[in-house]
């Protein structure tokens, strides 16, 4: 199967899963913004998604995407490490125009996984999971206020979002490039788009963290 046996196929899987996750993040982040604009609206969203069949299907789909993305990330990284050969260069200089993020996608990804575990424990385990188990879910707004009023959680979330930003500044244009959607004219454009998308996603998430951290300080 070419999606597994060929390098371009593997990159195709990587870019499709990555790009789908980016779309999900955009969706997730815009829901979060509601928590600032209208806490009641946010509670309504939490309730509406809850453990309904469409939310469950979505969650399962997401889990699948993340799983495939991570498994492929490791396969690609191991293959690439081997391809470099046993003997390493003694002198390594950086080249012009090579982004730092592009060489550290796996490390950034690992930070994202750790952050994801923290995030799932904070929110998902207390909301959707308990609802699946047939109990009363915690209030989304309460969890937000509680978590982000602690400076250490807020700080960890910011580090996590920082790693995500680096991952996406390279990831978005790289995904388009891997899919073949690039040429000399579009190269600077999609790199710019990549920075815009990464910044937008991270700003949307970060604003909720910062807003509720400040609220926690004032209270």
Partner 1 sequence: MEKTINITLKVWRQAGPKAKGGFETYQLDNISTDSSFLEMLDVLNEKLVSERKEPVVFDHDCREGICGMCSLYINGHPHGPDSAITTCQLHMRKFKNGDTITVEPWRSNAFPVIKDLMVDRRAYDKIMQAGGFVSVNTGGVPDANAIPIPKKDADEAMDAASCIGCGACAAACKNGSAMLFVAAKVSQLALLPQGKVEAARRVKAMLGKMDELGFGNCTNTGACAAECPKSVSLSNIARLNREYICAKFKD
Interacting residues with partner 1 (CB under 8 A): 2, 5-12, 76, 79-80, 82-93, 95-99, 102-103, 105, 170, 173-174, 177-184, 186-187
Cβ-based nearer residue to ligand HEM, 52 or 79: 79
Residue 29's binding partner among partner 1, ligand HEM, none (Cβ under 5 to 8 angstroms by kind) is none
- Positions touching ligand HEM (CB under 6 A) are 11, 14-15, 18-19, 21-22, 25, 69-70, 73, 76-77, 105-106, 109-110, 112-113, 167, 171-172, 174-175, 178
Q: Residue 182 Cβ, how far from partner 1 at the closest point, in Å?
A: 4
The residue written with tokens 């939490």 in the block is 46
Write the DSSP symbol of residue 95. Answer: P
Q: Which does 92 bind (CB under 5 to 8 A by kind): partner 1, ligand HEM, none?
A: partner 1
Binning the chain into helix, strand and coil, the percentages to the nearest 5 are 80, 0, 20
Instruction: Say which residues have a Cβ less than 8 Å from residue 9's Cβ, sequence separation at least 6.
Output: 1, 2, 3
Rounded CA separation 178/200 (Å): 22
Smallest gap from residue 191 Cβ to partner 1 (A): 10
Please state, in angstroms and rounded to a whole number, the distance separating the CA atoms of residues 44 and 48: 6
Q: Pick the closer one to ligand HEM by CB: 14 or 127.
A: 14
11 vs 126, beta carbon nearer ligand HEM = 11
For the chain, first and last CA: distance in Å?
58
The pair of structure tokens assigned to 115 is: 């952050």
SS3 155: helix
The CB-of-77 to ligand HEM minimum distance in angstroms stands at: 6
């Amino acid at each position: 199967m070419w999606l597994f046996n060929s390098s371009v196929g593997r990159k195709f899987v990587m870019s499709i899963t990555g790009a789908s996750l980016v779309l999900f993040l955009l969706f997730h982040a815009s829901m979060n913004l509601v928590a600032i604009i209208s806490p009641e609206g946010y509670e309504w969203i939490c309730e509406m998604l809850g453990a309904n069949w469409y939310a469950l299907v979505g969650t399962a789909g997401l889990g699948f995407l993340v799983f495939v993305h991570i498994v492929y990330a490791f396969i690609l990284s191991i293959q690439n490490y081997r391809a470099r050969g046993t003997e390493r260069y003694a002198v390594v200089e950086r080249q012009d125009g090579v982004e730092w993020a592009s060489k550290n996608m796996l490390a950034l990804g690992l930070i994202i996984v750790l952050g994801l575990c923290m995030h799932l424990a904070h929110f998902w385990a207390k909301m959707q999971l308990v609802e699946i188990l047939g109990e009363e879910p915690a209030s989304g707004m309460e969890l937000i206020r509680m978590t982000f009023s602690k400076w250490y959680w807020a700080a960890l979330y910011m580090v996590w979002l920082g790693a995500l930003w680096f991952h996406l500044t390279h990831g978005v244009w790289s995904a388009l490039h891997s899919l073949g959607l690039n040429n000399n004219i579009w190269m600077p454009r999609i790199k710019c788009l990549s920075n815009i998308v990464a910044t937008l996603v991270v700003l949307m998430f970060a604003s909720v963290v910062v807003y509720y951290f400040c609220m926690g300080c004032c209270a």
